């Protein structure tokens, strides 16, 4: 019996048995295998495609991850550059494959300082430069800034970014007086503005408080006597939504004040970003300590100085481009002058004033508060004059001569007021000592005899020297001495040389007035006018500051304060109170401003606008523009 | 002539069919394992993409909040342990975790310092199976590209 055929075999055998059929059967041999193999190939191709698609997606995902990681590495590189430039504006070492601290990834920054074509990946440091420099790809790097190109790599991913950063920024100030807390003004107050110290173009200037108010008014003013007035050429504004008279209180007698406008519920204003003062101070802990004179003037040449602990300067502090970092309280028992900056992690207290500087300005940054205990020389001299008739005559004559000099400079014909023996020379001989003066001093019989021979300022100095010793007396002696030298005979060099020095850097310097007048430097008269007007403006002895004061604490002014520039009191986020240095039972809150005996604030617009006369501080480095390449 | 040839034909065809079955079996096995691997790889890729995006979102938020929001010193905040944020709210959302595609992605945040100024933030995003993204960035006060 034949074995039965399986069913599938019939596909092969259940066919006619002929030669063609046999050939056909032979042709169909392995057809299943071939078909299977072909299908398998197709399936394998599909599988390979699937695997390739998935691995490609995985590759892309990893690429995306590395690309994102590289972006953060590039940003880290930029942050690292900024941290170096903050400490040293001339830093140009760069990075050559600097590894990240915790993760794979490196960054490169190459500075280019040579001439010629700037490579595409080069960085340019122009922070301490005075003129613009060419950068990569035709960019221009402005003065005071740097163009940084950072290249970062993570795995196979590479990112490049370029940024313009700025270290010595112009402080952006809208108001000459702005606080985060309450403003309390008392006495005669004048708040006005000028565009530039080189001219008299007026601009509106106001005051603003970000305090939303609770309890006492956010902004108050009250007169000290029957004649005091408040003059504010701009707006008096506050974020306090309470009605004017409650949130902003200038009293009920509108004839006592002249204000541009009152604005309640004003938008909160932004304070300039000057960075964390504590951090700035600690960053410079490694800088040398300043050499402080026990008396007289302490001059800080260009450079950075750090003092650990409290610092007291008995005399004037002259900043000749220097920056002083004090990790504690700073007390200056004299004045501050020159161009530079002071950073203090504690309080800053001024007991003197600033000598007259027209083109220079200082920045004072204090974490805990600023006390302006400005010495009122006018009041002191008036009191002194009442006790001595000769002083009365000399003091009145001094003020008269200063006024006449200013009048001549502002209204006189430049060609006729200069020259030896001219009207200005006559006034100078009244004020200060000239060895060739035609008029010799005579013994004083009547008080008016003191005027003979001129040199009023020198004689007042002598009178003061005969008084008992004390900081007020010493302060006035120094101040009158400075004026006397300024108006006195030029012995520092030829008239032309001294006049040139004054012209290039106008300031109160010995012999400057005589040098300009005697050499008939008509082109320097406008600068001389400003110096003399400042003498008048500062009323020869009132507290005077030129620049910007910024604090995270309070500002307290015990005496009449004259400020050319701006005062910013940003106490946000702080709660610690500070005692009144004159009355410890009273305390001041962060953000609070208190001026008890009047204030003269003149907003100088050009200090806060980009330009040659801008007030720049070397604070935190900031990114101005940023782009991924 | 018929049967011997027919017999031969039958033998070849059976072997052929058996081979075909074998090939099909191998192919199916390969396809299934390849497919499983592809699915696994795809899931891993998706998880990594999600983790990368979560990590990126977190660092962007840190940049947005700024330098001062990052604590000074060395700290570790582990989202898988549900470590609470500090009093100032650091680390910010999306810490401690993000749920996407039915999976929890936990954030582990490490904070440190570099030099006198820079703060270092490392964020590692992981889920229970796979998908891990780690990013590190330095923060400088006042610098934010967001």
Domain boundary among A537, A562, A585: A537
- Which pLDDT score, from 0 to 100, does residue B123 have? 95
Question: Which residues 515-544 on chain A approach chain B with CB closer than 8 angstroms?
Answer: none
- For residue B144, the chain A residues in CB contact (below 8 A) are 623
Question: Is residue B145 situated within a structural domain?
Answer: no
Residue from B56, B113, B135, B139 to probe the interface with A (highest A Cβ count within 10 Å):
B135
Measured distance CA(A128)–CA(A487) in Å, rounded: 36
Task: Please report the ipTM that was assigned to this predicted complex.
Answer: 0.86
The whole domain housing A23 covers 7-59
Residue closest to A544 by CA, chosen among A411, A356, A306: A356
User: In this structure, what token pair is assigned to residue B66?
Assistant: 């700024």
Mean pLDDT, chain A, integer? 83
Measured distance CA(A225)–CA(A228) in Å, rounded: 6
Degrees, nearest 5: CA angle A336-A339-A343: 70
CA distance B82 to chain A (A): 23
Which tens digit of pLDDT belongs to each residue from A478-489? 778 888 999 999
* A137-141 CB contacts, 8 Å cutoff, 24+ apart: none
Measured distance CA(B36)–CA(A66) in Å, rounded: 26
Question: Is residue A17 situated within a structural domain?
Answer: yes
Measured distance CA(A489)–CA(A500) in Å, rounded: 16
Q: Find the CB nearest A58 among B41, B55, B112.
A: B41
Measured in Å, how far apart are chain B's first and last C-alpha atoms?
A: 89
Q: Does A22 touch chain B (CB under 8 A)?
A: yes
Q: Does A27 touch chain B (CB under 8 A)?
A: no
Measured distance CA(A267)–CA(B55) in Å, rounded: 36
Whether residue B38 and residue A51 make contact (CB cut-off 8 A), yes or no, is: yes
Q: Does A283 touch chain B (CB under 8 A)?
A: yes
Do A23 and A155 fall into the same domain? no
- Which pLDDT score, from 0 to 100, does residue A583 have? 84
Average pLDDT rounded to a whole number, residues A391-414: 90
Domain boundary among A147, A170, A193: A170
Whether residue A83 and residue B117 make contact (CB cut-off 8 A), yes or no, is: yes
Q: Find the CB nearest B138 among A69, A76, A86.
A: A76
- For residue B2, the chain A residues in CB contact (below 8 A) are 17
Question: Is residue B85 situated within a structural domain?
Answer: yes
Which tens digit of pLDDT belongs to each residue from A182-218? 999 998 888 888 888 776 678 888 999 999 877 889 9
Q: What is the DSSP string of A69-86?
A: HHHHHHHHHHHHHHHHHH
- Which pLDDT score, from 0 to 100, does residue A560 have? 67
Question: Which residues 40-69 on chain B approach chain A with CB closer than 8 angstroms?
Answer: 41-42, 44-46, 48-49, 52, 55-56, 59
Measured distance CA(A118)–CA(A139) in Å, rounded: 10
- For residue A157, the chain B residues in CB contact (below 8 A) are none
Measured distance CA(A139)–CA(A495) in Å, rounded: 46
Whether residue A33 and residue B20 make contact (CB cut-off 8 A), yes or no, is: yes
Question: Which residues 46-65 on chain A approach chain B with CB closer than 8 angstroms?
Answer: 46-47, 50-51, 53-55, 57-58, 61-62, 64-65
**Contact A367/A553 with Cβ under 8 angstroms?**
yes
Q: Does A33 touch chain B (CB under 8 A)?
A: yes
- For residue B137, the chain A residues in CB contact (below 8 A) are 72-73, 75-76, 79
Question: Is residue B146 situated within a structural domain?
Answer: no
Q: Which residue has the higher pLDDT, A402 or A536?
A: A402
Integer CA distances (angstroms), A326 to A51, A110, A366, A591, in order: 66, 34, 9, 21
Which tens digit of pLDDT belongs to each residue from A514-566? 999 999 998 888 888 877 766 643 334 445 677 888 999 999 987 766 778 88
Look-up: residue for tokens 């998908």?
A: B131
**Neighbour-count burial for B59-82, b at 16+ CB within 10 Å, e otherwise:** bebbbebebebbeeeebebebeee
Question: Is residue B92 situated within a structural domain?
Answer: yes
**Contact A296/A332 with Cβ under 8 angstroms?**
no
Residue closest to A473 by CA, chosen among A389, A391, A359, A580: A391
Do A517 and A405 fall into the same domain? yes
Degrees, nearest 5: CA angle A409-A415-A417: 45
Task: Say yes or no to pLDDT of A468 above 70.
Answer: yes
- For residue B123, the chain A residues in CB contact (below 8 A) are none
Q: How many residues does chain B have?
A: 146
Do A408 and A519 fall into the same domain? yes
**Neighbour-count burial for A308-327, b at 16+ CB within 10 Å, e otherwise:** eeebebbbbbbbeebbbbbb
Residue closest to A580 by CA, chosen among A595, A601, A560: A595
Would the CA dihedral through A88, A93, A97, A99 be positive or negative?
A: negative
User: In this structure, what token pair is assigned to residue A465?
Assistant: 């020297």
CA distance B79 to chain A (A): 19
Do A123 and A134 fall into the same domain? yes
User: How many of the other CB atoms lie within 10 Å of CB of A239?
Assistant: 20
Q: Find the CB nearest B52 among A64, A100, A621.
A: A64
Degrees, nearest 5: CA angle A318-A620-A326: 40
Task: Say yes or no to pLDDT of A15 above 50.
Answer: no
Do A113 and A231 fall into the same domain? no
Task: Say yes or no to pLDDT of A257 above 60.
Answer: yes
Number of independent structural domains in chain A: 4
- Which pLDDT score, from 0 to 100, does residue A555 have? 93
Residue from A5, A36, A51 to probe the interface with B (highest B Cβ count within 10 Å):
A36
Task: Say yes or no to pLDDT of A227 above 70.
Answer: yes
Residue of B nearest to A82 (CA): B140
Q: Give the pLDDT band (50/70/90) at residue A373.
A: confident
Average pLDDT rounded to a whole number, residues A78-98: 90
Look-up: residue for tokens 């052929």?
A: B16
Look-up: residue for tokens 């302060």?
A: A475
Task: Say yes or no to pLDDT of A31 above 70.
Answer: yes
DSSP A119: P
Q: Which residue has the higher pLDDT, A13 or A608?
A: A608
- For residue A3, the chain B residues in CB contact (below 8 A) are none
Degrees, nearest 5: CA angle A375-A376-A377: 105
Question: Is residue B144 situated within a structural domain?
Answer: no
Domain boundary among A15, A30, A59: A59
Question: Which residues 23-42 on chain B approach chain A with CB closer than 8 angstroms?
Answer: 23-24, 26-27, 30-31, 34-35, 37-38, 41-42
User: In this structure, what token pair is assigned to residue A12?
Assistant: 């092969």
Question: Is residue A320 situated within a structural domain?
Answer: no
Percentage of chain A modeled with pLDDT above 70: 86
Name residues whose C-beta falls within 8 Å of residue A256's C-beta, 6 or more positions apart in sequence.
A223, A228, A229, A230, A250
- For residue B41, the chain A residues in CB contact (below 8 A) are 54-55, 57-58
Among A344-348, A538-542, A595-599, which range has the highest average pLDDT? A344-348
DSSP B29: H
- Which pLDDT score, from 0 to 100, does residue A199 have? 67
Give the distance from CA A99 to its chain's centroid.
34
Question: Is residue B116 situated within a structural domain?
Answer: yes
Do A454 and A550 fall into the same domain? no
Task: Say yes or no to pLDDT of A44 above 60.
Answer: yes
Which tens digit of pLDDT belongs to each residue from A349-359? 887 654 434 45
Do A238 and A357 fall into the same domain? yes
Q: Which residue has the higher pLDDT, A379 or B26?
A: B26
Residue closest to A488 by CA, chosen among A523, A519, A533, A458: A458
User: How many of the other CB atoms lie within 10 Å of CB of B39?
Assistant: 12
Integer CA distances (angstroms), A52 to A39, A40, A45, A64, B69, in order: 20, 18, 10, 18, 44
Would the CA dihedral through B66, A91, A552, A258 be positive or negative?
A: negative
- For residue A68, the chain B residues in CB contact (below 8 A) are 52, 55-56, 135
Question: Is residue B18 situated within a structural domain?
Answer: yes
Give the distance from CA A533 to its chain's centroid.
26
Which tens digit of pLDDT belongs to each residue from B75-99? 999 999 999 999 889 999 899 999 8
Task: Say yes or no to pLDDT of B130 above 70.
Answer: no
- Which pLDDT score, from 0 to 100, does residue A159 have? 95
Residue closest to A570 by CA, chosen among A166, A170, A208, A169: A208
Residue closest to A175 by CA, chosen among A600, A603, A611: A603
Whether residue B30 and residue A44 make contact (CB cut-off 8 A), yes or no, is: yes
Do A210 and A353 fall into the same domain? yes
DSSP, collapsed to helix, strand or coil, labels residue A297 as: strand
The whole domain housing B43 covers 3-139
Q: Give the pLDDT band (50/70/90) at residue A170.
A: low
Q: Which residue has the higher pLDDT, B117 or A497?
A: A497
Q: Please, how many CA atoms are within 13 Å of residue A153, restricted to the half-sphere of its CB?
A: 9
Count of CB pairs separated by less than 8 Å, A with B: 164
- Which pLDDT score, from 0 to 100, does residue A353 have? 53
Q: Which residue has the higher pLDDT, B145 or A167?
A: A167
Measured distance CA(A567)–CA(A417) in Å, rounded: 38
Number of independent structural domains in chain B: 1
Q: Which residue has the higher pLDDT, B3 or A301?
A: A301
Q: What is the side-by-side strand order in the sheet with A554-557?
A: A248-249, A219-222, A183-186, A593-595, A554-557, A369-372, A347-350, A330-332, A311-313
Measured distance CA(A124)–CA(A272) in Å, rounded: 26
Question: Which residues 74-133 on chain B approach chain A with CB closer than 8 angstroms?
Answer: 110, 112, 114-118, 120, 122, 133
Q: Give the pLDDT band (50/70/90) at residue A16.
A: very low
Measured in Å, how far apart are chain A's first and last C-alpha atoms?
A: 88
List phi, psi (to 5°) of A373: -95, 40
H or E stretch including A500? helix A495-504
Residue from A54, A68, A88 to probe the interface with B (highest B Cβ count within 10 Å):
A54
- Which pLDDT score, from 0 to 100, does residue A87 have? 77
- Which pLDDT score, from 0 to 100, does residue A20 have? 55
Kindly report the pTM of this predicted structure.
Answer: 0.60
Look-up: residue for tokens 């880290």?
A: A76
Residue of A nearest to B57 (CA): A68
User: Does the bond joining A470 to the residue before it have cis omega, within 30 degrees of 0?
Assistant: no
Task: Say yes or no to pLDDT of B146 above 50.
Answer: no
Task: Say yes or no to pLDDT of A168 above 70.
Answer: no
- Which pLDDT score, from 0 to 100, does residue A459 have? 93
User: In this structure, what token pair is assigned to residue A584?
Assistant: 């410890």
């Amino acid at each position: 019996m034949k074995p039965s055929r399986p069913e599938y075999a019939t596909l092969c055998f259940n066919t006619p048995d002929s030669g063609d059929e046999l050939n056909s059967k032979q042709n169909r041999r392995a057809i299943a295998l071939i078909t299977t193999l072909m299908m398998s190939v197709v399936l394998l191709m599909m599988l390979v495609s699937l695997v390739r698609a998935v691995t490609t997606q995985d590759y892309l995902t990893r690429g995306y991850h590395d690309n994102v990681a590289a972006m953060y590495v590039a940003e880290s590189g930029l942050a690292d550059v900024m941290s170096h430039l903050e400490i040293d504006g001339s830093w140009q070492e760069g990075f050559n494959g600097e590894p990240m601290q915790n993760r794979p990834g490196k960054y490169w920054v190459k500075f280019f300082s040579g001439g010629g074509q700037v490579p595409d990946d080069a960085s340019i440091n122009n922070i301490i430069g005075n003129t613009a420099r060419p950068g990569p790809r035709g960019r221009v790097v402005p003065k005071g800034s740097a163009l940084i190109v950072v290249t970062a790599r993570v795995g196979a991913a590479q990112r490049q970014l370029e940024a313009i950063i700025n270290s010595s920024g112009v402080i952006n100030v809208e108001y000459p007086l702005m606080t985060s807390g309450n403003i309390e003004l008392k006495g005669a107050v004048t708040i006005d503005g000028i565009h530039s110290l080189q001219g008299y173009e007026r601009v509106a200037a106001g005051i603003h408080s970000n305090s939303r108010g609770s309890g006492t008014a956010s902004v108050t003013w009250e007169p000290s006597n029957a004649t005091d007035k408040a003059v504010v050429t701009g707006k008096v504004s506050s974020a306090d939504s309470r009605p004017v008279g409650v949130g902003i209180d200038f009293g009920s007698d509108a004839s006592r004040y002249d204000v541009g406008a009152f604005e309640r519920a004003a938008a909160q204003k932004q304070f300039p970003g000057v960075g964390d003062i504590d951090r700035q101070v600690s960053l410079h802990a490694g800088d040398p300590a300043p050499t402080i004179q026990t008396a007289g003037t302490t001059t800080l040449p260009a450079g950075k100085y750090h003092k650990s602990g409290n610092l007291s300067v008995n005399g004037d502090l002259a900043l000749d481009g220097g920056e002083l970092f004090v990790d504690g309280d700073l007390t200056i028992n004299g004045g501050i002058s020159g161009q530079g900056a002071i950073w203090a992690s504690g309080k800053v207290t001024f007991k003197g004033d600033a000598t007259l500087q027209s083109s220079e300005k200082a920045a004072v940054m204090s974490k805990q508060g600023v006390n302006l205990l400005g010495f009122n020389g006018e009041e002191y001299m008036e009191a002194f004059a009442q006790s001595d008739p000769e002083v009365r005559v000399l003091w009145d004559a001094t003020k008269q001569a200063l006024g006449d000099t200013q009048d001549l400079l502002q209204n006189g014909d430049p060609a006729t007021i200069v020259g030896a023996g001219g009207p200005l020379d006559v006034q100078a001989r009244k004020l200060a000592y000239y060895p060739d003066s035609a008029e010799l001093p005579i013994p004083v019989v009547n008080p008016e005899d003191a005027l003979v021979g001129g040199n009023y300022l020198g004689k007042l100095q002598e009178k003061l020297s005969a008084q008992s010793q004390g900081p007020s007396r010493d302060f006035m002696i120094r101040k009158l001495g400075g004026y006397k030298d300024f108006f006195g005979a030029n012995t520092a060099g030829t008239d032309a040389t001294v006049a040139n020095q004054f012209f290039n850097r106008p300031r109160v310097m010995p012999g400057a007035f005589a040098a300009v007048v005697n050499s008939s430097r008509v082109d320097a008269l406008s600068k001389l006018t400003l110096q003399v007007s400042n003498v008048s403006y500062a009323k020869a002895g009132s507290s005077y500051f030129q620049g910007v004061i910024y604090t995270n604490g309070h500002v307290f002014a015990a005496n009449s304060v004259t400020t050319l520039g701006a005062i910013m009191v940003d106490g946000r986020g702080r709660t610690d109170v500070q005692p009144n240095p004159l009355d410890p039972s009273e305390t001041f809150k962060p953000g609070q401003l208190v001026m008890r005996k009047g204030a003269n604030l003149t907003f100088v617009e050009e200090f806060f606008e980009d330009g040659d006369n801008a007030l720049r501080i070397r604070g935190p480095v900031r990114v101005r523009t940023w782009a991924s390449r | 002539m018929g049967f011997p040839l027919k017999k031969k034909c039958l033998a070849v065809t059976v072997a052929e069919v058996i081979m075909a079955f074998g090939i099909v079996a191998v192919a199916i096995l390969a396809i299934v394992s390849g497919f499983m691997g592809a699915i696994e790889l795809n899931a891993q890729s998706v998880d990594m993409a999600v983790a990368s995006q979560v990590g990126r979102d977190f660092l962007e938020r840190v940049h947005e909040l700024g330098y001062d929001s990052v604590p000074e010193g060395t700290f570790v905040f582990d989202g898988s342990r549900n470590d609470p944020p500090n009093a100032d709210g650091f680390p910010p959302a999306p810490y401690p975790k993000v749920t996407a595609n039915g999976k929890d992605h936990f954030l582990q945040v490490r904070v440190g310092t570099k030099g006198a100024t820079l703060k270092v933030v490392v964020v590692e995003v992981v889920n229970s199976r796979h998908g891990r993204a780690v990013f590190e960035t330095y923060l400088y006060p006042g610098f934010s590209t967001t």
